[in-house]
Amino acid sequence: MLLDNHGRPVNYLRLAVTDRCNLRCFYCMPEEGIQYLPKKALLTYEEMERTVRVMAGLGVNKVRITGGEPFVRNGLLGFLRRLSEIPGIDALHLTTNGVLTAPHVAELKALGVRSVNLSLDTLDRDRFRHITRRDELPRVLDTLHALLGAGIEVKINMVVMEGKNTQDIGPMAELTRHHPVSVRFIEEMPFNGEGARLEGFTWHYRRILDELKAHYPGLYKLTDEPNATAYGYGVPGHAGTFGVIAAFSRSFCGTCNRIRLTAQGVLKTCLYDDGVLDLRQLLRGGSTDEALADAFRGAFRHRAKDGFEAEGRRSSHLPASESMSTIGG
Ligand code: SAM
Ligand code: SF4
């Protein structure tokens, strides 16, 4: 079991398979997009598979595929199949914007993908187009229905943003009335790829919670999993549940079990650090599996205790100089 210097077990890898995306969510990247990495700068599927095998040997048993948009990278399903066969990996998860996902849902089910996080910030087509700068809401809703139809666990990620979609908190919450989904309301974070500080952050998780309580006076607290980032809530009679994620307030760092690997193979021991290990260099420089495992152990011996310390240790840039599309969320 991989333990960090604060005694936290680390068993969950978030793997960004690409930095490319077919949407342009304004909180993630500028309208013109980000400077994508050249193809050869991305880890190959073989390199990622080897990394996961080594990490599985250290006790990692849960992998989330993210990006960019995972489905814009060719060969994704074959890669998922190979990951699903790695001994020790007992849960594969996926985060997607849902634009290209619906046709693959049956295969995801067959591969045993445990749950899919679908990013959806509004049910209003105009606001969707405004936020993502693309008119793709119908295809995202097709994916939602396909996932529910296939019986795959669905979590919906809604970033709550002043002046953009706060009127959608109620309608999004209503999805839980008849559908067995978890709708997660997420504080906006500063990773917009523009270098601009996050202005006007007013939708703190407590305010989101107050808004939910105003809609549902019967809201009750659920028991959260030990490493959960979301505070879970239920409403009597609803098929689904809510989560509120203090992603910017960073209230969950004390139990963080996550490793992040960016699309170019940079290891992050915290979302807010600026990378602690160049894995691609090790992989391409001929390192043995044992050397890779040592490098992972070494990285987790110097882990910041929380996201504030990690941010303070960044070498120069603001987090906002990074796009979440490169990090994976
Ligand atoms: N493209 C896929 C998607 O959107 O689901 C996967 C990658 S995306 C970077 C992963 C998650 O990060 C999404 O749920 C997205 O809403 C979230 N995200 C991106 N930028 C964010 C920001 N600035 N603040 C909070 N969440 C953000
Ligand atoms: Fe693309 Fe996901 Fe970023 Fe939106 S949040 S631009 S869908 S990577």
CB 69 within 8 A of CB 100: yes
* Ligand 2 centroid to residue 76 C-alpha, Å: 17
CA angle 309, 315, 319 (to 5 degrees): 70
The residue whose C-alpha atom lies closest to atom 13 belonging to ligand 1 is: 119
Sequential DSSP letters for 252-321: -GGG--EEEE-TT-EEESSTTS--SEEHHHHHHTT--HHHHHHHHHHHHTT--SSHHHHHHT-SS--GGG
Residue 186: closest CA among 286, 305, 168? 168
- Ligand 1 within 6 A of 120 CB? no
Distance between CA atoms of 154 and 162, rounded to whole angstroms? Answer: 25
CA distances from 149 to 42, 97, 117, 253 (A): 34, 18, 15, 35
Ligand 2 — pocket residues by CB below 6 A?
Answer: 21, 23-25, 28-29, 67-69, 97, 119, 324-325
* Ligand 2 centroid to residue 83 C-alpha, Å: 23
Indicate the range of 120-124, 136-140, 200-204, 323-327 predicted with least confidence. Answer: 200-204
What stretches of 58-182 show up as alpha helix (H) in DSSP?
A: 76-84, 105-110, 125-132, 137-150, 169-178
Domains in the chain: boundaries: 12-327
The mean of the pLDDT values for the chain is 94
| pLDDT of res. 109 | 96
- Ligand 1 within 6 A of 192 CB? yes
How does pLDDT run across 210-251, given as a tens digit for each residue?
A: 999 999 999 999 999 988 999 999 999 999 999 999 999 888
Query: pTM of the predicted model, to two decimals?
Result: 0.95
Domain spanning 12-327, CATH class: alpha beta
* Helix or strand (DSSP H, E) at 244: strand 241-245
| pLDDT of res. 197 | 67
The residue whose C-alpha atom lies closest to atom 18 belonging to ligand 1 is: 329
Distance between CA atoms of 245 and 119, rounded to whole angstroms? Answer: 14
How does pLDDT run across 11-29, given as a tens digit for each residue?
A: 999 999 999 999 999 999 9
Q: Which-ligand-closest: CA of 132?
A: 2
Per-residue pLDDT at 284 exceeds 70: yes
Q: What are 117's strand-pairing partners?
A: 95, 155
User: Which amino acid, one-letter code, is at 44?
Assistant: T
Residue 66: closest CA among 121, 107, 28, 10? 28
| pLDDT of res. 315 | 85
Could you tell me which residues come within 8 angstroms of residue 214 by beta carbon, excluding any fewer than 6 positions away? none
Distance between CA atoms of 20 and 156, rounded to whole angstroms? Answer: 21
Residue 248: closest CA among 264, 261, 229? 229
* Helix or strand (DSSP H, E) at 54: helix 45-57
Q: Is pLDDT larger for residue 52 or for residue 33? A: 52
What stretches of 104-247 show up as alpha helix (H) in DSSP?
A: 105-110, 125-132, 137-150, 169-178, 205-215
